[in-house]
Chain A
Amino acid sequence: MIATRDAYGEALAELGGENDKIVALDADLSGSTKTAVFAKKFPNRFFNMGIAEANMVGTAAGLAAVGKIPFLSTFAIFAAGRGWEQIRQSVAYPKANVKIVATHGGVTVGEDGGSHQSVEDVAIMRAIPNMTVIVPADGEETKGAIRAAAAYKGPVYVRLGRNKVPSVFPAGHKFEIGKGVVVVPGTDLTFITTGLMTAAAVTAAEKLKAEGISARVLHIGTVKPLDKELVLQAAQETGAIVTAEEHSVVGGLGGAVAEFLGETCPTLMKRVGIHDRFGTSGKSDELLKYFGLNAETLIEEAREIVSRKK
């Protein structure tokens, strides 16, 4: 168990040693976002921009315009929220080589409450042309994603969480932008999941097996561009899809899968996520339960959808 933001801090500092074009920016949250690890190692390549997110985005775009590879970080709510228009105009529109690594996404931020729980950032970023959107499942995938983001030329949004999450992938797992991974094979339905919900889906699949239901788990690390091939294959081979994400069901992974399958291969579908509402204060494990973001909900939805198939 490791928090994806911790993996980010490590990966960024490591990459910084390999490529001196990498610079980092933060808006007074470097201890939380873990860019402080990079800052300590490479003080002259770190820019604390103060509590001024819009300016941070623009500054990163300028750094990219002179050949740097800027990684900018703050909480997801402030990155995608305060910086939306700057990201659209100064980063995505010119295809600037800027990496936005937003931490503290989703409801697992916890006690800070709804104002700090970004449940729509993936939808906002996904709607912007040229933007690549990555939501890693665990620390190992995060490391691969940060590496892939640095190597990729263009705008990338990586959404990370605050808390430690269970491991899904073995050490050394290779991450490829735009490629989904079948984590568990199965034939009766497919869980298409992202972020910390992939671990929950693996647990759910194991329990369902005992009931004689064969659930596939397709992890989508890159919400955009969507791995259409694996999604279509899952729809055709299992005939039932349950998506799951720590995000609104509007516009996130569930939305992306529904949009795609609706036009290519209409399939029985359920979307597990936050149903068009804001978050609220609480401990993160309480909140996951409160919003039904766990294996239990996935099991119920799986049973239901499989029964509807017949």
Chain B
Amino acid sequence: MKEKIADLEEKARRLRVAIVKTLHKSQSGHTGGSLSAIDMVCALYFHKMRHNPADPAWEGRDRFVLSKGHAAPALYVALAECGYFPAEDLMMLRRLGSHLQGHPDSKGTPGVDVCTGSLGQGLSMANGMALGLKLDGKENRVYAVLGDGELQEGQVWEAAMAAAHYKSDNLCALIDSNGLQIDGDVSKVMNVSSISDKFRAFGWNVIDIDGHDMGQIIAALDQAEAHKGAPTAIVAKTVKGKGVHLFENKASYHGVTPNDDELPEALRCLGCCD
């Protein structure tokens, strides 16, 4: 297990490097929220989820919804690393004619099942998939990653209510709780705390973790899978911009990409942060 965790940590480090390089190249996209979510995305794609990059539409796959769609780079680097498409494609992020749209688009990108980017809608779609898979008597699970600012959207709570009502225990929501949104602290813009208490009150199984501790992420995903009768919310405390001190905990790096001056320092930092 220790070895597995070390492997995943190394993978996450490399994915962080890929995110920084991709965003530097595109000079457009979201840095902070991609770096805060990447450990969870990494644990899902390289440890937890059943999926088959050679056959993106494989029936037996678990499903993934990046509800906070602006963190698309975190998803794209993971998909590329899995082999859903060549890593070179990452350099075309957000370019005209590229299949890597600014926000996840199921029409063009292998491995992407639903369109996201308009915040607050992903959990509804994830629960719809969970309901459909259950109807077919399938064991497949559905994972959705949401932002904490995103929880301000009322539709999230409509979905939370419905998932608990229909006992969607094949559904797991991971909340990337980095405490920041565009205009600043989530607590100051529109306080959503306590996230855990809210999900619990809606009838969910709730697990609180450090979203950058690979051991905790994996343990939580295992617990979620074992829990029957209710969906699980993993409320992950994270750091926006995690891994690059230049970007850490800075709301100003939400939708800003690394510039030429920052790139060497960012990469050096990721090399040292092993």
Residues of A within 8 A of B (CB): 23, 44-45, 47, 49-50, 52, 54-68, 70, 85-86, 89-90, 93-95
Contact = CB atoms under 8 A, between A and B. Distances in A.
Sorted nearest first, the 6 A-B pairs with minimum C-beta distance are A62-B128, A58-B124, A55-B158, A52-B158, A66-B132, A59-B128
Contact of A94 (B107, B129, B131): B107
A56 B161 CA distance: 12
B118 to A, nearest CB: 4
A42 to B, nearest CB: 10
Nearest to A86: B121
Given A58-B122, A65-B114, 9 more contacts: A47-B166, A55-B155, A58-B128, A61-B125, A62-B125, A66-B132, A86-B118, A89-B116, A93-B107
Interface in B200-250: none
Contacts of B63: 65-66
Contacts of B136: 66-67
B127 interface: yes
B158 A54 contact: yes
13 contacts: A54-B121, A54-B154, A55-B162, A58-B125, A58-B127, A59-B124, A63-B128, A63-B132, A65-B114, A65-B129, A68-B132, A86-B121, A94-B114
Interface string B92-122: 0000000000000111000001111110011
Contacts, number: 108
Contact of B129 (A52, A55, A63): A63
Contact of A52 (B105, B106, B125, B161): B161
A59 B125 contact: yes
B159 interface: yes
Given A54-B155, A55-B159, A59-B162, A90 B125 contact: yes
A61 B132 contact: no
Given A52-B161, A94-B106, A65 B127 contact: no
Contact of B115 (A49, A63, A94): A94
Given A44-B135, A54-B155, A68-B135, A89 B115 contact: yes
Contacts of A63: 128-129, 131-132
Nearest to B104: A94
Residue picked from B114, B118, B161, B165, most chain A C-beta under 10 Å: B114
Nearest to A70: B128
A66 B158 contact: no
A154 B183 CA distance: 37
Contacts of B127: 58-59, 62
A50 B162 contact: yes
Nearest to A85: B118
Contacts of A50: 158, 161-162, 165
A67 B106 CA distance: 14
Nearest to A89: B118
A58 B125 CA distance: 5
Contacts of A70: 128
A55 B165 CA distance: 13
Q: For B106, B125, B133, which residue has the most chain A Cβ atoms within 10 angstroms?
A: B125
A57 B129 CA distance: 12
A95 B106 CA distance: 9
A62 B126 contact: yes
A132 to B, nearest CB: 17
Given A59-B125, A90-B125, A49 B162 contact: yes
B132 A23 contact: yes
A97 to B, nearest CB: 12
Contacts of A95: 107
Given A47-B166, A62-B124, A90 B115 contact: yes
Instruction: Name, among B121, B122, B128, the residue most crowded by chain A CB atoms within 10 Å (CB to CB).
Output: B128
Nearest to B160: A55
Contacts of B129: 62-63, 65-66
Contact of A65 (B118, B125, B155): B125
B186 interface: no
Contacts of B162: 49-50, 52, 55, 59
A65 B135 contact: no
Contacts of A65: 63, 106, 113-114, 125, 128-129, 132
A95 B129 CA distance: 16
A65 B166 CA distance: 18
A70 B159 CA distance: 17
B130 interface: yes
A24 to B, nearest CB: 12
Given A65-B125, A90-B121, A94-B114, A59 B155 contact: no
